[in-house]
A and B are shown apart, each in its own frame.
Chain A
Amino acid sequence: MKISTLGYCIKQGIKNIQRNLLFSLASIGTMVACLFLFGIFYAILINMDYEMKDIQKTLTVSVFFEEGSSDDQIANIGNEIKKLENIDTIHYVSADVAWKGYVEDVYKGDQEYVDSVFGEDNPLENSSSYTITLKDVSRQDVTVKQLEEISGVRKVNSSDVTAKSLNAVINLLSYISIGVSSILLLVSLFLISNTITIGISVRKEEIAIMKLIGAKDIFVRASFLFEGIFIGLLGSVIPLIIMYFVYTAMTGYLAEHFVLIDNMIEFVPVGKVFIGLAPISIVMGVGVGFFGSLFTTKRHVKV
């Protein structure tokens, strides 16, 4: 298709929207509702995911060795651990360091008291370990099993309750988000198809003349395809704009008025949310508009 023809079809697409303003607005409105809702779910999910990653950094797994393991054996175990896919960082904690940490935590650093009770002894003589952070805490179970299978490993300690519950919430929200968005996208698809059908019936005479003059199928359909694309584009850009202001205002308000939330959660900056949300929303909106229109014109406009 030539550029001048493209320009003509785009103009006609815009005119079509103006001709069926009410139906076009209904389609755009439904899509706005759908993609705004999707945006809310997306923002919640991305924030939870961000928190999850934050928590992941603090969740550690400790690997203890068999009693009397030599330095070489410990180093070998370290090498085996590093080979595992889900290992993010690995840090060796010697028995001395472990005992110092324990004294610090339990006896609040009261060295005099500790010396009087334990003297030179280190009760954690056999508690040297590797402290590990994981890339993906949701796969902690599998990794712990793999760690337990490494020869020379006596015990693996992990705390996975927080990770598991957060993961479960994220999964649930993802399913709800996909379900609700899919239903609303289907409604949008139906409404766009309906709008295009009405547009076709309004321009029935024009289409008939076009076809008799020798217009190609694609030319007749193009203006309707652009109509669908524009509806989809408007239906996705409007909720993005609303979402931008709502998200900025909401996170600002929560941080300002709820100190507890502000201390617990660090909100993902709006720019980071939109890096993913904007393209996904636009592709969804334009896609629904384009395909809704394509199927309708295929059914109703035949040369």
Chain B
Amino acid sequence: MLVLDHVTMEYPTGTKALDDVSIHIKKGDFVFIVGSSGSGKTTLIKLLLKEITPTSGEITVDDKIYSKIKRKEIPMLRRKIGVVFQNFRLLKDRTVFENVAFAQQVIEKPMSEIRRQVPGTLTLVGLAQKYKQFPKELSGGEQQRVALARAIVNQPDIILADEPTGNLDPKNSLEIMTLLEEINKKGTTVVVVTHNKEIVNLMKKRVIVLKKGKIVSDEEEGGYKDED
């Protein structure tokens, strides 16, 4: 489903962000990728979104081999991956509804489908009543739920969450993780990149620990210890 095979990423500056990393994630898995700053988490996300190309090694998502994907095929690949960011990255001049609809508009879904799917997705994340509000009128937790709704509205195969709880208090963090777990139960593969120890340890999911660009542990129902 999602495979990194001996992936190394060295930037032109000489910094080796990832060093011979191999990860196999099966369809429907829920995986935490943890590590401190500089461990290579951000590089990993950029690689999975094909924003950058690895120096060596191969990445495969759903039988799509990244090195063989042409530039014009990148958008179709990205439609398989829904992304959630730490800072939500919502469009400030658009309402909750418009922010979620935006994800469908950019992949050219017909308006009839957008009108049908967006309310359902907003209900799923508990924001059906706030569809007319603008991001600045929402709490951090609500904004992240809008971002999550935007990521799942196109029903991607994979949800890639980059520090989704980074700007949230423990209560909102837990709510977001619960939502991600619910989405995962419906069959979507969820990859959460985080350094939120409490959440990782509470969820009891597979945990891959990165340190200085290398995998130092990969455990089912793992945890995130201080030394990681």
Contacts and interface: CB of A to CB of B under 8 A. Distances in A.
A214 B77 CA distance: 7
Contact of B107 (A205, A206, A214): A214
B107 A2 contact: no
Given A303-B71, A303-B74, A303-B75, A213 B107 contact: yes
A212 interface: yes
Interface string B63-87: 0000000011011111100010000
Contacts of A5: 105, 108
A4 B79 contact: no
Q: In this complex, which of A1, A5, A208 has the most chain B Cβ atoms within 10 angstroms of its Cβ?
A: A5
B188 to A, nearest CB: 16
Interface in A264-303: 303
A209 B91 contact: yes
Dominant secondary structure at the A interface? helix
B78 A2 contact: no
B154 interface: yes
Given A212-B49, A215-B107, A206 B91 contact: yes
A210 B91 CA distance: 11
B111 interface: yes
Nearest to B50: A303
B110 interface: yes
B164 to A, nearest CB: 15
A213 B79 contact: yes
Interface residues of B, number: 22
A212 to B, nearest CB: 5
A8 B89 contact: no
Contacts of A139: none
Dominant secondary structure at the B interface? helix
Interface string B118-129: 000000000000
Q: In this complex, which of B72, B74, B108, B110 has the most chain A Cβ atoms within 10 angstroms of its Cβ?
A: B108
B103 interface: yes
B152 to A, nearest CB: 12
B108 A217 contact: no
A156 to B, nearest CB: 68
A214 B71 contact: no
B72 A214 contact: no
A212 B82 CA distance: 8
A209 B89 CA distance: 8
Interface in B84-101: 89, 91
B105 A212 contact: no
Contacts of A41: none
Contacts of A208: 89
Contact of A213 (B71, B106, B110): B106
A91 interface: no
Nearest to B106: A215
Given A4-B110, A5-B108, A303-B71, A214 B78 contact: yes
Interface of A: 1-2, 4-5, 8, 205-206, 208-217, 219, 303
Ranked nearest first, the 3 interchain pairs of A and B with the lowest CB-CB distance are A214-B79, A214-B78, A215-B106
Given A209-B89, A209-B102, A215-B75, 4 more contacts: A213-B79, A214-B79, A215-B106, A216-B75
9 contacts: A2-B108, A209-B89, A213-B78, A213-B103, A214-B76, A214-B79, A215-B106, A216-B108, A217-B72
